């Protein structure tokens, strides 16, 4: 039984408050039994606006780091402290989609940065949701520069990440795709965005089910038992939001 992500609506992902309730929603029966050794998902409340690079950014006043002796506390560490002080128990750390827009705003994936983010979370006993902030990767069969399809690149990329951290901190949650957006023909040149105007949910679910299952199988075969966020296609929510926007006279968003 896989897991579902529920996000608080927000106009700014970078500043979004995050509530994650991990629960069952489609029939992949073995996942909960192998995730963290329990069938009871954790209840998680926290903050969803930290970029991976922010453990190497120091915009606040110089404060000694609790996590890394001899350093000042990074923006991400200051955020973690604030989360703990608020009584919350999680932070979501995001990076740009490696296979479609690797140098996007949310910053390029870097294993050293992820290791630092995990150390910050572990020091403060926080859950850390590791977010590949992509949209169309799981559906995209376009061939990219290295001869792989985007789909293959996405799965191969994750293999390296989960293999490296499979035996690490127990309160990691993998979020393999941010908001899956179904796009059957992948029109346009911006592969990171996909397209959001197709309501063929049956076709979307078939592919999404297959790709998530491939991710789960790959991850579990490495001995990794961390929880995994599985998210439904973003099609219907965006269609509903667009219809509401247009009905108010604002025109297409």
Confidence (pLDDT) at 141: 82
- Global pTM reads 0.76
Helices (H) and strands (E) in the chain, counts: 6, 6
CA–CA distances in Å: residue 48 to residues 58, 176, 198: 19, 15, 27
Confidence (pLDDT) at 233: 60
Q: Which two tokens stand for residue 25?
A: 């929603």
**What are the residues whose beta carbons fall under 8 Å from the beta carbon of 204, sequence distance 6 or more?**
139, 180, 182, 198, 233, 235
> Distance between terminal CA atoms of the chain?
36
**What are the residues whose beta carbons fall under 8 Å from the beta carbon of 87, sequence distance 6 or more?**
none
Considering only the C-alpha atoms of the chain, give the largest distance between any 2 of them, rounded to a whole number of Å.
56
Sheet holding 17-21, edge to edge: 17-21, 43-51, 90-95, 127-132, 172-175, 227-228
d(CA 236, CA 250): 20
Q: Going by DSSP bridges, is the β-strand pair 17-21/43-51 parallel, antiparallel, or unpaired?
A: antiparallel
Provide the residue-wise pLDDT of the chain in tens; the chain has 253 residues: 333 343 322 223 232 334 333 332 222 333 334 444 556 888 899 988 899 999 999 987 789 999 999 999 999 999 999 999 999 999 999 999 999 899 999 999 999 999 999 999 999 999 999 999 998 888 888 888 788 999 999 999 999 999 999 999 999 999 999 888 765 444 433 444 444 444 555 667 778 889 999 999 999 999 999 999 987 665 445 445 444 444 444 433 3
Burial class (CB in 10 A: 0-12, 13-18, 19+), 100: buried
Q: Which two tokens stand for residue 111?
A: 């294993």
């Amino acid at each position: 039984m896989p897991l579902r992500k529920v996000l608080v609506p927000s106009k700014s992902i970078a500043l979004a408050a995050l509530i994650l309730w991990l629960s069952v929603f489609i029939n992949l029966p073995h996942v909960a039994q192998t995730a963290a050794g329990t069938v009871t998902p954790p209840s998680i409340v926290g903050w969803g606006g930290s970029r991976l690079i922010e453990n190497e950014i120091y915009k606040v006043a110089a404060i000694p780091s609790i996590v890394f002796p001899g350093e000042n506390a990074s923006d991400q560490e200051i955020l973690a402290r604030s989360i703990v002080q608020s009584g919350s128990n999680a932070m979501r750390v995001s990076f740009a989609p490696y296979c479609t827009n690797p140098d996007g705003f949310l910053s390029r994936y870097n294993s050293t940065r992820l290791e630092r983010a995990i150390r910050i979370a572990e020091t403060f006993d926080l859950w850390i949701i590791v977010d590949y902030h992509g949209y169309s990767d799981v559906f995209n069969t376009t061939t990219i520069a290295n001869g792989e399809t985007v789909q293959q690149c996405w799965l191969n990329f994750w293999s390296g990440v989960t293999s490296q951290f499979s035996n690490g901190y127990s309160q990691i949650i993998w979020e393999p795709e941010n908001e899956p957006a179904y796009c059957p023909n992948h029109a346009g040149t911006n592969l990171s965005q996909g397209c959001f105007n197709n309501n063929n949910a049956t076709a979307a679910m078939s592919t999404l089910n297959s790709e998530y299952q491939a991710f789960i199988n790959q991850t579990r075969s490495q001995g990794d038992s961390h929880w995994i966020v599985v998210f439904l296609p973003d099609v219907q929510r965006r269609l509903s939001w667009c219809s509401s926007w247009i009905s108010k006279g604002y025109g297409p968003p």
